[in-house]
Amino acid sequence: MCATGSGYGARDTGGPTQRLSLIQHPHALALKDSSSSSSSSSSSRVLHNPGRLHWFAARVALQYVATTRNQKLTYRRSANGYILSSSVDADFLPAYGNQYDNWKSTTGWVCRFAGGAVSWRSRRQDTVATSTPHAECLAAFDCSREVLHLRELLHDLGAIQRAPTILEEDNQSLIRITLNTGGEADRIKHWDYKVHWLREQIQKGSISFAWVATVDQMADSFTKPLPRPALEAQRDHNMGIKPLTYTIHDKIFRDNADKFATKQPLAVNYLAHYTMIRTKSSS
């Protein structure tokens, strides 16, 4: 979507007030459907001056919502109990036209509990990222705050999360940076406190990162438009309708397990947790 209200096409599509009313509908419907979060996030950026291009995009979004209105979030107890997990992703600034606006990347994440999404977000970042790991760090920080809130809420409800909550991430550089493996000082010396906060939460055992392939990144649809097969597959997985089977890799943690020598129980629980959910069940 462009950032201005310039015209598109010869057919009249109504006045600014009518276009604004239509564009606001997908934004409200995103509260009910996580798969439309990316389009609603993009449309909300032009509410101050929507054009005909945004009119057509909003119509497509509404058509999608209308054809999927019978799909519902599905929750079920797995063989390993009720586990909180999350996927986090970000698109770096040169991708998908954001460089023509203000060079800010887009954050996307989804938190799942009992097989279905309970919280999600797709929005433009407040800070201009200087690299892909930087953009991923900003997204991971935002997701981690929500994870900590959900862990406290589940604790009060009796669904205590004893193992660290897994954040599925497809950027290996960020994972190594959060594990403080060394050699990244020159790359992150201009970053703010967020990376240090992530390291602290990992040491406390609240969260832990796991690498997944980009094709298995279930938060990819929150940062950019995807082809229909990929969008539907991620939508069905996040909504708990038809979970996918994919592998969560723990090699990066194992290679740096010595970093947790002072907290051996954390390392043991972490590896046991990985063994338990390493392969997602398709049941």
Helix (H, G, I), strand (E, B) or coil at 87: strand
pTM listed for this prediction: 0.75
Domain definitions of the chain by residue range: 16-67, 84-277
Find the distance separating the first CA and the last CA of the chain, reported in whole Å: 38
Q: CA 206 to CA 166: how far, in whole Å?
A: 9
Class of domain 84-277: alpha beta
| Closest among 114, 186, 175 to 140, alpha carbons compared | 175
Helix (H) or strand (E) run with residue 199 in it:
helix 194-204
Tokens encoding 35:
């798969």
Helix (H, G, I), strand (E, B) or coil at 233: helix
Helix (H) or strand (E) run with residue 138 in it:
helix 132-157
pLDDT at 34: 54
pLDDT at 275: 42
pLDDT at 269: 41
Q: CA 254 to CA 211: how far, in whole Å?
A: 12
Q: What is the pLDDT along the chain (283 residues), one digit of tens a residue?
A: 444 444 333 344 455 555 445 545 544 455 455 555 666 666 666 666 677 777 777 777 778 778 888 888 889 887 778 899 999 999 887 554 444 567 888 899 999 999 899 999 988 888 888 888 999 999 999 999 999 999 999 999 999 998 899 999 999 889 888 887 666 767 788 888 888 899 899 989 899 898 998 889 999 988 888 888 888 899 889 888 888 888 887 767 667 666 554 443 333 344 444 444 444 433 4
Q: Collect all residues with Cβ–Cβ distance below 8 Å to 275 and sequence separation of at least 6.
A: none
pLDDT at 152: 96
Q: CA 256 to CA 179: how far, in whole Å?
A: 7
Cα 219–chain centre separation: 4
